[in-house]
């Protein structure tokens, strides 16, 4: 044992329990498992997180306790450096795709102090034949009180070497926003607390959505950590998370044979016709600015700026073509107008690392819709635009002018096929949605038709203006109850509406439809005179001229389900729909459900 380790173990080094805490003992006892972190849109493995296993052999119940003990006894830096090397050995023995990353949780207390071996991890990475941009160091809010100026400088030094930084367990503590600001992480890992039940808790989903939007503005990616169920996975995708980790994807594994390149059950459904059109529109507006590598020299950068007069920003990429930020031309003026070749100060300035000029930039994937791009851009201050990626790699730059052009074209197109009363998509959009749903059998699809009961007597009694108010009310309720990814709302005309769901459970669809039905029945009562509300009906003439009693307004709902693997010609759906709408009118609860192919 070295003198450093001897002094770290202090006076009780002869006792058997402390001998277990020597670095050699821990290295032999501790094992690492790897858990995949996947692209939430494609299921492709983006990274692996190294998780400590069997730490009880060191005398501690958990990795946290092991780090606390090491810190108390003075050898935490040596322990973490040793564990990093062990995780690195495990990672490099895997068969991985190019650019796959390793996430390593760093306790970080006293990071950057004199002779800290953790600051030498760059040498270990180089010796392993890997690039620093393949390593992401995770820092937790748990140690926020120990984050000093020295720690911040140390983290910045590691980033200058090319290492990535993640803020772990985001949302757990009270000072997370300050850490998010101070660390400027490349990734934000949302704490499991906010993901548990996110599919049924609107407040949790709102929090995750807000964090995802904020992260994009700051140029960071969001990881949903600890996802355990398919509904949680879908809710995280709808909330805008970029990456996914948890037992729903795969449990941590020790044997390398369990590693995969992708996970089919995580892949998102294909884009619909309208979304493909929007993505093509975004792609056509991307500006292919010249880029520069993160480890390039200042001379290379200045030469690029001088010879590229069109752009005032330069995207900076790592060796895997993933963006690390932007360099603004205005930040380089001191260098562009520096002295000549004989000026010693000017020459010394050229040795300054290019990485020091990299600024965070709003970032979004090409799968993002135009409205989300606009929100991301509008939320950023003094932004020149947005870096757009495809499968996390640089795809191009979107300027403010191009973004506004896309939004303007989208609004014009929507207005052409929009019901003038409710502003919901009209018959053209509904027909396209139904056609796409009928032909694609890669997921469950649900087509819902909704129309009012006893609407004509209501119109005859209260007038068309009040009838329009009822239609507008229902349109607003429809949008409130039917929202999120994989959903669609439309207005066929008059009192006929449509809602569509993709990749959703039929029971959930029926529950949401019944909730909408109840809300409408309760809210529309206020449109009646008090005496009609009290008696629960109005008297009016039917279509044959006979005066009779009609119940207050409500709606009938028919749900036609096309299960996964089932396809049908769109024109053959009409007879099914007519029959199902008739059944809904005749049912006691105003709801009829049918699954085709059964």
> What does the pLDDT read at residue 336?
60
Residue 46 and residue 37 in contact, taking contact as beta carbons nearer than 8 Å: yes
Give residue 298's pLDDT band: very low, low, confident or very high (50, 70, 90). confident
Lowest mean pLDDT across 47-56, 178-187, 375-384, 431-440: 375-384
The 10s digit of each residue's pLDDT in 335-393 is: 666 555 566 655 666 666 777 788 888 888 888 877 777 777 776 666 778 899 988 99
Residue 449 and residue 557 in contact, taking contact as beta carbons nearer than 8 Å: yes
Phi, psi dihedral angles at 559 (to 5 degrees) = -120, 115
Give residue 134's pLDDT band: very low, low, confident or very high (50, 70, 90). very high
Phi, psi dihedral angles at 310 (to 5 degrees) = -80, -40
Pairing type for strands 313-317 and 101-105 reads unpaired
Lowest mean pLDDT across 15-29, 174-188, 277-291, 552-566: 15-29
Calpha distance 474→581 (Å, rounded): 18
Which three-class secondary structure state does DSSP give residue 360?
A: coil
273-285 vs 427-439: helix crossing angle, rounded to 10: 100
Residue 374 and residue 364 in contact, taking contact as beta carbons nearer than 8 Å: no
> What does the pLDDT read at residue 175?
54
> What does the pLDDT read at residue 342?
60
Give residue 270's pLDDT band: very low, low, confident or very high (50, 70, 90). low
Calpha distance 590→450 (Å, rounded): 10
**If you average pLDDT over residues 133-157, what whole number do you get?**
82
Listed in sequence order, the residues at least 6 apart from 285 whose beta carbon sits closer than 8 Å to its beta carbon are 398, 402, 403, 405, 406
Calpha distance 459→465 (Å, rounded): 8
> What does the pLDDT read at residue 490?
94
**If you average pLDDT over residues 433-454, what whole number do you get?**
90
Tokens coding 530: 């008090």
Distance of CA 370 to the CA centre of its chain: 16
Residue 188 and residue 211 in contact, taking contact as beta carbons nearer than 8 Å: yes
> What does the pLDDT read at residue 15?
37
Give residue 3's pLDDT band: very low, low, confident or very high (50, 70, 90). very low
**Angle at Cα 249 formed by Cα 247 and Cα 253, nearest 5°?**
65
202-217 vs 370-378: helix crossing angle, rounded to 10: 70
Report which of residues 328 and 522 the model is more confident about: 522
pLDDT at 91 over 60: yes
Give residue 238's pLDDT band: very low, low, confident or very high (50, 70, 90). confident
> What does the pLDDT read at residue 6?
43
Residue 314 and residue 304 in contact, taking contact as beta carbons nearer than 8 Å: yes
Assign 3-state DSSP to the chain and report helix, strand, coil percentages, each to 5: 45, 20, 30
**Burial class of residue 575 in the structure, from the number of CB atoms within 10 Å of its CB (0-12 exposed, 13-18 middle, 19+ buried):** exposed
Calpha distance 472→493 (Å, rounded): 11
**If you average pLDDT over residues 550-561, what whole number do you get?**
95
> What does the pLDDT read at residue 532?
95
Which three-class secondary structure state does DSSP give residue 302?
A: helix
pLDDT at 5 over 50: no
Residue 167 and residue 200 in contact, taking contact as beta carbons nearer than 8 Å: no
pLDDT at 254 over 80: yes
Give every strand in the sheet of 313-317, ordered side by side. Answer: 292-293, 313-317, 323-328
Lowest mean pLDDT across 193-207, 402-416, 460-474: 402-416
> What does the pLDDT read at residue 12?
43
The 10s digit of each residue's pLDDT in 147-182 is: 678 888 899 899 989 999 999 888 776 556 777 777
Domains of the chain: 3-268 (3.20.20.450), 275-409 (3.10.580.10), 418-595 (3.30.70.270)
Q: Which long-range contacts (CB under 8 A, 24 or more apart) does 151-156 make?
A: 151/108, 151/111, 151/112, 152/182, 152/183, 153/112, 154/111, 154/112, 154/116, 154/119, 155/108, 155/111, 155/112, 155/183
> What is the helix (H) or strand (E) element at residue 546, kind and residue range?
none
Residue 439 and residue 281 in contact, taking contact as beta carbons nearer than 8 Å: no
Give residue 114's pLDDT band: very low, low, confident or very high (50, 70, 90). confident
Listed in sequence order, the residues at least 6 apart from 334 whose beta carbon sits closer than 8 Å to its beta carbon are 349
The 10s digit of each residue's pLDDT in 478-494 is: 999 988 777 999 999 99
Q: In the chain, pLDDT over 70 holds for what percent of residues?
A: 87
Give residue 56's pLDDT band: very low, low, confident or very high (50, 70, 90). low
Instruction: Choose from 8-12, 62-66, 290-294, 327-331 the range with maximum mean pLDDT.
Output: 290-294
Calpha distance 442→565 (Å, rounded): 6
> What does the pLDDT read at residue 224?
94
As a residue count, the chain comes to 598
Q: What is the largest CA-CA distance in the chain?
A: 104
The 10s digit of each residue's pLDDT in 528-537 is: 999 999 999 9
Residue 81 and residue 118 in contact, taking contact as beta carbons nearer than 8 Å: yes
Q: How far is CA 361 from CA 9, 134, 180, 189, 305, in A?
A: 46, 20, 15, 19, 19
pLDDT at 17 over 50: no
Residue 400 and residue 336 in contact, taking contact as beta carbons nearer than 8 Å: no
> What does the pLDDT read at residue 16?
37
């Amino acid at each position: 044992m070295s003198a450093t380790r001897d002094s770290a173990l202090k006076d009780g080094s002869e006792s058997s329990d402390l001998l277990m805490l020597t670095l050699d003992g821990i290295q032999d006892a501790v094992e690492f498992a790897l858990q995949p972190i996947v692209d939430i849109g494609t299921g492709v493995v983006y990274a692996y997180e190294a998780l400590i296993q069997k730490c009880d052999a060191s005398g501690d119940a958990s990795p946290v306790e092991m780090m606390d003990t090491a810190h108390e006894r003075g050898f935490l830096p040596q322990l973490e450096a040793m564990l990093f090397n062990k995780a690195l050995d495990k990672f490099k023995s895997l068969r991985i795709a190019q650019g796959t990353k390793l996430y390593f949780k760093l306790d970080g207390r006293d990071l950057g102090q004199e002779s800290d071996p953790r600051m030498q991890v760059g040498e270990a990475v180089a010796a392993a034949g890997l690039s620093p941009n393949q390593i992401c160091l995770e820092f937790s809010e748990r140690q926020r009180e120990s984050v000093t100026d020295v720690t911040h400088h140390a983290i910045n030094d590691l980033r200058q070497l090319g290492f990535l930084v993640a803020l772990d367990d985001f949302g757990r503590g009270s000072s997370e926003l300050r850490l998010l600001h101070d660390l400027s992480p490349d990734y934000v890992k949302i704490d499991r607390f906010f993901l548990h039940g996110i599919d049924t808790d609107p407040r949790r989903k709102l929090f995750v959505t807000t964090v995802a939007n904020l992260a994009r503005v700051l140029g960071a990616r969001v990881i949903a950590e600890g996802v355990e169920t398919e509904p949680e996975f879908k809710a995280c995708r709808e909330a805008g998370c970029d990456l996914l980790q948890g037992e729903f994807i795969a449990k941590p594994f020790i044997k390398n044979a369990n590693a995969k390149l992708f996970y089919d059950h995580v892949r998102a459904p294909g884009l619909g016709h309208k979304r493909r059109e929007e993505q093509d529109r975004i792609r056509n507006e991307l500006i292919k600015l010249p880029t520069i590598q993160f480890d390039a020299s200042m001379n290379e950068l200045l030469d690029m700026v001088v010879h590229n007069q069109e752009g005032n920003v330069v995207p900076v990429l790592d060796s895997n073509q993933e963006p690390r930020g932007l360099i603004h031309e205005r930040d380089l003026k001191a260098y562009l107008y520096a002295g000549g070749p004989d000026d010693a100060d000017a020459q010394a300035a050229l040795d300054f690392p290019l990485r020091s000029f990299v600024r965070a930039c709003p970032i979004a994937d090409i799968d993002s819709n135009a409205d989300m791009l606009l929100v991301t851009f509008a939320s950023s201050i003094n932004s020149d635009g947005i870096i757009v990626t495809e499968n996390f790699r640089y795809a191009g730059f979107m300027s403010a002018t191009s973004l506004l052009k896309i939004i303007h074209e989208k609004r014009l197109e929507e207005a052409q096929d929009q019901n003038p009363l409710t502003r919901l998509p009209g018959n053209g959009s509904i027909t396209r949605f139904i056609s796409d749903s009928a032909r694609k059998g890669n997921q469950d699809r649900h087509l819902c038709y909704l129309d009012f009961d006893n609407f004509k007597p209501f119109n005859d009694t209260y007038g068309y203006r009040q009838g329009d108010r009822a239609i507008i009310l229902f349109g607003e309720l429809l949008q409130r109850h039917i929202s999120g990814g994989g959903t669609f709302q439309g207005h066929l005309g008059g009192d006929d509406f449509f809602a569509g769901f993709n990749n959703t459970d039929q029971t959930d669809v029926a529950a949401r439809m019944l909730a909408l039905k109840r809300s409408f029945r309760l809210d529309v009562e206020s449109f009646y005179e008090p005496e009609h509300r009290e008696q629960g009906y109005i008297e009016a003439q039917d279509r044959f001229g006979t005066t009779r009693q009609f119940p207050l307004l409500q709606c009938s709902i028919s749900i036609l389900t096309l299960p996964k693997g089932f396809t049908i010609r769109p024109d053959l759906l009409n007879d099914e729909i007519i029959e199902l709408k008739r059944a809904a009118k005749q049912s006691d609860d105003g709801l009829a459900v049918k699954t085709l192919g059964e």
